Structure 1
Amino acid sequence: MTDGLTIRTYRSDDRAAVTALWRACGLVVPHNDPEADIARAAGQPNSDILLGLLADDGIAASVMVGHDGHRGWLYYVAVSPEARGRGHGRAMVAAAEDWLRARGIPKAQLMIRDTNAAVRDFYAGLGWNESPRIVMERWL
């Protein structure tokens, strides 16, 4: 528990609340299917979704975490607008980092959309560094 936040793993009955949180935080864009992302990540050997719950508000925060055996990745780091400024984002990132450490993954990464650059300072304050890389993609 951190500042009233209890962190646990995703359960199937959380789906509607989680997708609503991601939409409220602006994390869902037309080419993302949050339902498919949840189905691929929740409770898998190399990935999971961690949720931050507040006793009075239910699901207030999330992080999807996974790894490829070498690098860990964080996705859907979200804190509801009403619950921001109370350390919940920091707690969710720390929980994801702990999840990766427990699996022997030495490096964590995340990507920030250029339209969401304001969060850069948040991650820098947690000790994350920019990594000069070019990310390429191909839709399959």
Structure 2
Amino acid sequence: MANVTDGYTFRTMRADDYDQAIELWNGLDGLGLSEADSPERIARFLQRNEGLSFVCEYAGNIIGTILAGHDSRRGFLYHLGVTAEHRGHGIATRLVDRALSALLTEGIDKCHLFVMEHNTGGQRFWSANGWEKRDGILLYSRDLA
């Protein structure tokens, strides 16, 4: 169900939003993309985490996104972004609120996110919105293929 406020339409993200979403993500400083962001993998993510990710549209164009999912214990947020010309209208906060509300409905009561070290704007946003930077945790990764 779409929600329209101030000319902005917020709705659940669909796999067919991919082309506009990837264009947005490619234009954002500080957002890390990888092969995990292919159309097939994003479609699979959206299917596995149905109803948890959202877009914001303005004049028929996607100008904001957030991906949300969970592992049945903890929620995770990815790819929050709003085009530069639409920042300062509370869009990012409204996207986050929708994602967190959807996670809470799924029974998830704690959420994590990753911010690239060089993404100072992202760090400021999350800190200003009540998110706490964790110390003492190291992230390890390994390719499985």
TM-score bracket, normalised by the shorter chain, equals 0.7 to 0.9
1:43 aligns with 2:74: no
Q: Distance in 1 between matches of 2:34 and 2:43?
A: 18
> Which residue in the other structure is 1:137 paired with?
141
Stretch of structure 1 that moved more, 94-103 or 20-29: 20-29
Q: Which amino acid aligns with 1:43?
A: Q
Choose which of 69, 76, 81 in structure 2 pairs with 1:78: 81
Give the drift of 1:49.
2.7
Counterpart secondary structure, 2:119:
helix
What's the C-alpha RMSD, in Å, of the aligned pairs? 2.0
Number of aligned positions between the proteins: 139
Structure 1-normalised TM-score?
0.87
**Secondary structure of 1:97 counterpart:** helix
1:95 aligns to what? 98
* Alpha-carbon distance change, 46 to 17 in structure 1, aligned in 2, over 3 angstroms: closer
- Residues 32 and 82 of structure 1, relative CA distance in 2, 3 Å threshold: farther
What is the Cα deviation at residue 7 of structure 1?
Answer: 1.5
Q: Work out whether residues 49 and 68 of structure 2, in 8 Å CA contact, stay in contact via their aligned partners in 1.
A: no
